[in-house]
Amino acid sequence: MLTLFKKIFTWWNRDTLGTHLETILFGKLVGQDTFGNKYYESKSGKRWVIYSGEIDASKIPVEWFSWIHFMPNKIEKKHELKKYDWQKPHQSNLTGTEGAYHPNKDKKNGIQKKYKSWK
């Protein structure tokens, strides 16, 4: 009962009931990325993504970002793009978490300031 309630009224947990019905009735699965996100398209041209796990728009890799925003890319021609050794794997936005980037971070002592506060 609680999961049905969450499905109907909360969009931040997963897809809502409306999105789930639209996906079943009108959605055609176009592909899936390495994170498990599934990408759908309707006959009218509408595109959407069903996230695996937590919903976060920064979890969409660059290949699928251009597809979902209707920008021409190689993903529409072939689904597996060649990755080079120097390319880093996609990472979602870590702002506000422990993994966030700090330019003056020391692993032992935490964040080191380059200035002294006034007293």
The domain limits of the chain are: 2-81
Q: Could you read off the pLDDT of 38-78 as tens digits, one per residue? A: 999 999 999 999 888 777 788 888 778 888 888 876 555 55
Give the distance from CA 44 to its chain's centroid. Answer: 24
DSSP for 81-98, written as a single string: PPPPTTPPPP----TTST
SS3 content of the chain, % helix, strand, coil (to 5): 25, 15, 60
Amino acid, single-letter form, for residue 73: N
pTM over cut 0.75? no
Token digits of residue 56? 């976060």
Tell me the pLDDT of the chain averaged across its residues. Answer: 77
Q: Tokens representing 73?
A: 């890319």
